[in-house]
Each structure stands twice: as structure tokens, then as C-alpha cells.
Chain A
């Protein structure tokens, strides 16, 4: 009964979102405010209807209602409650419904807020958002209905893929979708602007918090996915250049470019046309990502069950979502072009370099991901484009981007150099030299790549540090405290986010250069030396999990002085319902580095295969990503404080101040 209500709610949402997508556009075109006001009302109703529908599906999973095909195929009565709930989106139909839920919530939040915006702009944005929602609701209802009943109700479900039974899965998809789907807001802003052909600084100001929110969520979502792969797959790696990882990286790169170019529109009213195009591109890449995952075109652990009809449907959505805006862009785009009033050696120039490099990086990932597919279709030849390709092409572009990251923020708007530039350049160069030299003298056999990475860490950290100091150091009129108070939050957010990149790089370089690994066949009582630790293997224990049996190796970690500091118990699990075996790595994460242990096959007679790693600084990789996201939040959040402060100033001075001072 509840499932039928959920299904009904989903159909209601579809009809309402169709109304949300069409009617407000007519209202906005005719200036009829009653019709325009349908948009927020419909958006809120759609959000409520989809939320009810999603709730009904979750309820089916919680109560293990195996008369629902989806629950019977993807759940099991003995699963712990958290995995029953998270199992709702551990399959195609459910994760699509989650995607729609987030899309509808974004629409609802937009409908409730945005009171400062012109009613026509808001109506158009919600209409575009409504069209996207309509497309995905149709996708769900016509090809992937989560509420189908079974005629013969099984006694129990088939269970959930054990490697997806993990706390990481509970939060990784919702977080990633918050990012992917959040970009639909930027897309809606862009299309709404193309309909009228008007883009101004306020438009960018209203759009930026949405981009920021999406970007922060996407950053965290990707980091969570990488972290999950690190501890769940048991290889100790954290990025594999897997097509699905690439699918999330591409929108992230485009969104990063977008949030920087939106700054130029907001502060200077330049790059309007480009920013609109970028917003369309960023969301299109989100859709490409969904297409890759859902179509089964490029298979991986994420493509739960693939079906050609679904792939075709996503492709159709993609064509509409890219084709119509691009046609609009061809018509309206030229109208948005402004005469450039800046030199290339200015803040704008730096941000253009940022955008260009990020888009080149996106193009490289796109090409590398699809090239094997295209080549096979054209010539029949099968090739693999693996990590070495991306290391050779993507990394240098990102390295170049990091060079600009230290310089760009100290350039002035419009006309280039500032007094701050020279000292920052000197510091950054010194930092690069010292870290690269110190690094290479401390360890032999450094590759050019790792030397460059170390140099960049020095360059960027010293550059940021010098910039912060020059903006904080006391001068004739103000003390440190007074100067700190005057720095807008978006500048602080920028420092934090850019510093997150340094932390991320340290983690990546630390793990890459100093990772130690021991693979042994050990019998109970054996002692294994790894890094400066002595690990005693005392044997294995049988462990009874809620829905699995496990064999757990007991590993006592001793430091150099022989003190016991940790007990790690990597497991091999057999899941009863799914009849699958998984290895659970045991990890002791610390800031200095992670101890990582994996149990392989074996028995007490011949011994067990043990894989032990010590991974210095590896958790800084995800820490850096979190710091980046935090910087984004500070920047998005702080804009309001800066705005209230400026409102006390005379109008001209306020806008002039934001032009000269602000910006990330």
C-alpha cells in the first residue's frame, strides 16, 4: 500500500514538474506574475511529493518488503539496519530516485529563498530546473520504476553486494549527488540568462552560492569515494583513473573553473558569455558521468545493473540538456560579449589562465576516458588508456595550474602588477627551491615528477604564506588585528581552499615516495618488520558478524623500543546471504601515516598471506580535500558579511572596494 502511494506520489511529481517546467516560462514572457508564481509553488510541491515517494521506498527497505522487486533483489532480512537504509540507493532505481530527490530539494530551496531576485528570473530558473526534473522523473517512471511488485513473493531477498555494505556507501552517493545535481542550479541560471540575453553582476552574485555549495559537496563526494576505494578495495591505492572516477572528476574540474570565472562576472562584469557556457558544460559533464555509469558503456563496480534502454534514455536527456542550451547560446551568446577592459597580466588574466588550464585538464580526462571506446568503434582495435597516460598529460597541466595559483591571487584587477607581486614571487621561488632540494637530498632516486611535485608544494605554500603575511602585516595605520578584520571572507576562503591543495599534494607525494610494503606468508608467532615497526602475527580468530562469518588476523604492532601501540585485525569475510567473500583491510590512520594490513588466503599449516603497508601522510589527501571544501564554504558564507559591511559605505565606494579588494 505504502509503495503504491509512493508510486502515485512519483507520478504526481512528474505532472507537477511538467507544469513547473512550462507554465512559468509563458508567465515570464508575458509578464504575468500569477503564472510566474506557479514556479515556486510547483517546485515546493514537487520536492514534497518526491520526498514522500523516496520515504515510501526507504520504508520498503526498512520493513524488508520482498513483494517489491527492488527490495527482493537488493536487500536481505539479516542485513544491519543502516545497510538496509543505505541499500535504498545501492542500486540503479533507488539511486536514481535519490538523484531526483536532491534535484527536487534544490528546486524547493530555490523556491523558498531568492526573495531578492526579480520574479521573472526566479521563475525562469525554476522552470529550467523543472524541465530537468521532468526528464529524470520520466526516466525513473518509464525505464526504472522502483515500485514494481513481484507476483511470487520470495522468502528472503538476494542481498546487497558486500563491498557496498559499508558506512562509506551510506554517505558517498548522497554527497556526490549533492554536487552533481547542485550544478543543475548553475545550469538553470545559465539557461535562464540565455532566454533573456541578460547577464549582470547581480546574476553572478546570486548564482555563486549555488556553485559553491555544489562544488563543496562534489569535492567531499569525490574524496569520500576515493577514501572508500582506499579502505574497501584493499589495494591501498586512492585513485585509479577508473572511468567512473573520471566521470566525477570532469564536472569537478569544470565546476572549479566555473566558480573562478563567476568571480570575474560578479566583481568585474567580464567573461559573461564564457561563464554561461561553462555553467552549461559543467552540468552536461555531470550528465555524461551519469550516462557513463548508468549505460554500462564503461563498466565498473558502480554500474549496478545496466540496460541499453536506460542508456538510450540518459543519452536523450543529455542531448536535450546540451543541445537546446547550445542552440540558445549560439543565438544569445554574442549579446553577452563585452569589450575586455583588462590586460592579460591582471587578476582577470590569471583567472583566464586558471579556466583555460582547468578546461584543458577536463578535455584530457574526457579524451582519455572515451578514446578506447571511440577507437574500438572506428577501427576495432582495443587499447587501454591507463594511469601512465594521465600521469604524463593531466599532471603537467595541473602543475602549471599550481604555478598560477600562487601568482594569480596577488595580481590586481584590470591592470596587473601590485607591490605584493614581487615579494610573493621571490618567496614562492625560494620555497620551491628549498623543498625540492631538501627533498632530493633526503632521499635518492627521485624522479623528475616527484621533484616537480615537491617544488610545487614549496612554491604554493610559500606563495600563499607570503600573500597572507603581506595582507596582515601591521602598517602605519593598522595593526595585524585591524587588518585581519578588514580581509573579506572570500579571500580567507580562497587561502584556506588553496592551502587545502598544498595539504592534498603533501599527502599524495608522501604516499607516492615513502610508501612501504611487505608481502609475506606468515605463521602464528612470526614477526614482520615494516618501516620502523615490528609486527607480531599471533594467529587468527573466528569472528561472527551480523550477516557474515569472518576470519580475523591478530597483528600486534610494536614500535622501535618494542612497545605495543596497536592491534590490527584485518578480516576475510564470507557473507551468508550473498555467498561472497570480501577482504576487510585493517587501518590505523594517523596524521603521520597509516598502518594498513590485509589478510590473504592460507591456513595455520602453510601460513597466511599478509600484506602490510605503511603509508606516510596518506590521510592528508582526504584532509586536503576537506580543507578545500571548507575554504569554499567560508567563501560562500562570508560574502554576506562583506555585503553588510559594505552597505554602510557610500554606494560607489562600496562597489569600488569590492572591485579592488575582494575576490578569490
Chain B
């Protein structure tokens, strides 16, 4: 019965936390507007096409920069690529075709998202491999050490808990 009441109260508390967050979400979603181009002259008039251009720009590397997408970079080359992407989009080329064209011209280096092929197979499969390996190591370590775990308390442990609880109670008693 105690647990049930506690659970109910917990729900109220969490409810309040969530309500608070929901209010925050309503507030921030009310301030949403669509995003526009990186410099005013470059942007496409059609917001749908412009959105596509922005998304593409974020996947393309500025080839002369340290580690920036063409969307972030002020470099001339990045601007040229942004214009290239937008003129292609305006001409009706699909996203995939634009990526393929740039890839043919500049190589995989231009893609911030490395495409899955022979050279990147190891890169893409490894994260899964790491997880499996980690699990395997944990399992093997446990088996090797022959862990024998009792699931019930034995008599000595019971006695220790009794003692522990007793000393805890004495600690809680108000000092007189």
C-alpha cells in the first residue's frame, strides 16, 4: 500500500516536471520560422527549393577549409559551390544527381557523410562491431571467472543487515 501511494505521488511530481517542460516546448515552437539562405543574394525564391539547398549544403565539405561545410564557410570556393548547388536545384536536378555530379568532379572528399563502399566498409561497420565486441568481452570475462552468485541472503548476511539496520535506527533517533 505504501508503494502504491508513493507511486501516485511520484506521478504528480513527474507530471509537474513534464508540464513545465511542455510549456517550454509550446513557447519555443511558437517562435519557429523557416530558415533562409546563407547570403541574401544566393537564396532561392522558392522556400521548398531553398530548404533542399540548405540541406545539401550541410552535407558538402568546403574543400579549402579546415573542417567546414559549404553552408558554414565564407570561402570563395564554398560560395561557388553553394551557387552551383542552387542553380542545379533551380534547373530541376534531383538531390542525388547533384551529389553524384559533385562527387564525380571532386571525389568523395567533398562529402561530409562518407558513402558506404569498399573503402569505408570498416568505418561504417565498426561501431556495431565495437558494441558486439564489448558485449562479448563482458560475457567471456564473466564466464572465465566462474562467477557463482547466490541470489538469496545467507544467514551471516542476514545478521549483518539486522545489525546495520539497528545502528541506522540508533543514528536516526533524535539526540536528547
Contact surface of A with B, Cβ cutoff 8 Å: 235, 237, 240-243, 299-301, 337-344, 352, 356-357, 359-360, 363-364, 367-368, 371, 375, 379, 381-389, 392-394, 397, 414-415, 419, 423, 426-427, 430-431, 434-435, 438-439, 442-443, 457-458, 461-462, 465-466, 469-470, 473, 475, 477-478, 482, 486, 506, 510, 513-521, 529-532, 592-593, 600, 609, 611, 614, 616-617, 648-650, 652-653, 656-657, 660
Given contacts A340-B147, A462-B18, contact A593 B31 (CB under 8 A): yes
9 A-B pairs with CB atoms under 8 Å apart are A340-B145, A344-B142, A356-B135, A357-B134, A434-B18, A465-B13, A482-B172, A521-B39, A611-B38
Query: By the criterion CB–CB under 8 Å, are B114 and A385 in contact?
Result: yes
The reply to whether A393 and B41 form a contact with Cβ atoms under 8 Å apart is: no
A516 close to B35 (CB less than 8 A): yes
- Chain A residues near B168 (CB-CB < 8 A): 653, 657
Q: Could you tell me if A609 and B39 are in contact, using CB atoms closer than 8 angstroms?
A: yes
Bound together, the chains give a CA A423 to CA B6 distance in angstroms of 9
How far is the CB of B97 from the nearest CB of chain A, in Å? 19
Q: Which residues of A contact B145 (CB under 8 A)?
A: 337-340
CA distance A240 to B10 in the complex (A): 39
A-B contacts at CB below 8 angstroms, number: 234
- The answer, yes or no, to whether B86 is at the interface (CB within 8 Å) is no
A190 to B123, CA, bound (A): 32
* Alpha-carbon distance A337/B14, docked complex (angstroms): 42
Docked Cα-Cα span, A515 to B33, in Å, equals 8
B77 at interface by CB-CB < 8 Å = no
List residues of chain A with CB within 8 A of the CB of B29: 442-443, 514
Given contacts A360-B127, A386-B61, A510-B28, contact A469 B160 (CB under 8 A): no
A240-B68, A382-B108 are contacts. A515–B35 as well, Cβ < 8 Å? yes
Complexed CA–CA distance, A388 and B146 (Å): 43
Contact residue among B14, B38, B68, B142 (Cβ-Cβ distance under 8 Å from A431): B14
The answer on a CB contact under 8 Å between B67 and A240 is yes
Alpha-carbon separation in the docked complex, A426 to B4 (Å) = 12
Number of interface residues of B (CB under 8 A): 77
Give the complex CA separation of A326 and B7 in angstroms: 49
Q: Do B167 and A521 have beta carbons less than 8 Å apart?
A: no
B104 interface residue (CB < 8 Å to A): no
Q: Decide if A386 touches B36 in the complex (CB within 8 Å).
A: no
A344 to B139, CA, bound (A): 10
A517 & B9 in contact (Cβ 8 Å cutoff): no
Q: How far is the CA of A356 from the CA of B127 in the complex (A)?
A: 12
A461 contact set on B, CB distance < 8 A: 17-18, 21
Instruction: Decide if B164 touches A393 in the complex (CB within 8 Å).
Output: no
Q: Name the distance in Å between A444's Cβ and chain B's nearest Cβ.
A: 10
Interface membership of B3, Cβ < 8 A: yes
B112 & A386 in contact (Cβ 8 Å cutoff): yes
B112 CB contacts on chain A under 8 angstroms: 384, 386-389
Residue of A nearest to B33 (CB): A516
> Is A649 a contact partner of B14 (Cβ separation < 8 A)?
no
Q: Which residues of A contact B36 (CB under 8 A)?
A: 517-519
Q: How far is the CB of B70 from chain A (nearest CB, A)?
A: 11
> Does B75 count as interface, using CB distance less than 8 angstroms?
no
Instruction: Give chain B residues whose Cβ lies under 8 Å from the Cβ of A435.
Output: 18, 21-22, 25
In the assembled complex, the Cα of A73 lies from the Cα of B63 at a distance in Å of: 29
Chain A nearest CB from B164 CB (Å) reads 5
